[in-house]
Amino acid sequence: GRVEPGAQLAGYGIGDGDRILSVDGTAVNDWQQLIQSLRGAPTVSVDVLTADGDARTIRISTDPSVGLGIEPLLTSTAGSLVPGYPAAKAGIIAGDRIVSVDGMAVDQWAIMRERISTRPGMEIEIRWIRDGAELSAQIVPKPEVTEKGTIGLIGIGPSLQPTMRVPVSLGVAIERSGQDLVGYTTLMFTIVKRLVFGEMSGRLLAGPVGIAQMAGAKARQGWEALLDFMAMLSINLA
């Protein structure tokens, strides 16, 4: 995935494209397993395979206030939009791939997010691709005050990557179901807390109300869509 500059993992020399193999000896195969494995002990041992093929073991803090500063390499494709926000008003719809923000080419969510969030109240040009055609609009990111200052929001969420399904035995399935129930319950309270304090807004380019609206839309699509959305939120808490 992507490692934020100055983040805890970056301090250990972990960078973009490196892969976390296990936490405290337990293999992790997806982002949700990684997030759940980081709950509990104040520090954990993490086995990492670097993009260069080197194996490393580091010990990191799981304190939420420290954070890991990692996220998957999401594309700049729109997945969810908030009605009434600048992106929806400009005509952007789910599935549109944003290719330029204020004259700068973008193809990753993190790069696009940084470009937009640092321009609250400023008119910027956004270009996107839909069905092979390029469209554009002048958009003014909505200013929102967070604990880290004022940021610009346009009311858009990333497109989630396809879920990889791995067959498991009935016993393992029952065990994981119990773990997921506890994990998602804890996650819900954590997300609500982060929403109240405005810690999620800059990550998703939507304010607390907008994120709640996105969650509601996912819930109407079914539990699987809602849980996938919660998993994406959990990744942004890391």
CATH of the domain at 56: 2.30.42.10
| Run of H or E residues at 202 | helix 201-204
Same domain, 67 and 112: no
Same domain, 155 and 66: no
Tokens linked to 208: 């607390």
Burial class (CB in 10 A: 0-12, 13-18, 19+), 51: exposed
More confident residue, 103 or 74: 103
Q: At what angle do helices 223-237 and 170-196 cross, to 10 degrees?
A: 60
Is the pLDDT at 237 greater than 50? The verdict is no
Domain end call among 71, 98, 113: 71
Same domain, 62 and 134: no
Q: Where are the beta strands (DSSP E) in 109-237?
A: 124-130, 133-139, 142-146, 149-153, 156-158
Same domain, 160 and 187: yes
Question: Nearest Cα to 191, choosing from 218, 163, 165?
Answer: 218
Same domain, 22 and 139: no
Residue 222 has a pLDDT of 64
Same domain, 53 and 7: yes
Specify the residue for token string 């004022």. 150
| Alpha helix positions (H), the chain | 8-11, 31-37, 86-89, 109-117, 170-196, 201-204, 208-221, 223-237
Residue 74 has a pLDDT of 81
Domain that holds residue 16: 2-71
Same domain, 122 and 236: yes
pLDDT digits (tens, 9 = 90+) for 184-203: 555 555 555 555 555 544 45
Same domain, 225 and 121: yes
Same domain, 40 and 113: no
Domain end call among 71, 90, 124: 71
Count of domains observed in the chain: 2
pLDDT digits (tens, 9 = 90+) for 96-138: 999 999 999 999 888 898 899 999 999 999 999 999 999 999 9
Same domain, 8 and 97: no
Domain end call among 71, 86, 103: 71
Residue 231 has a pLDDT of 59
Question: Nearest Cα to 78, choosing from 115, 19, 127, 20?
Answer: 127
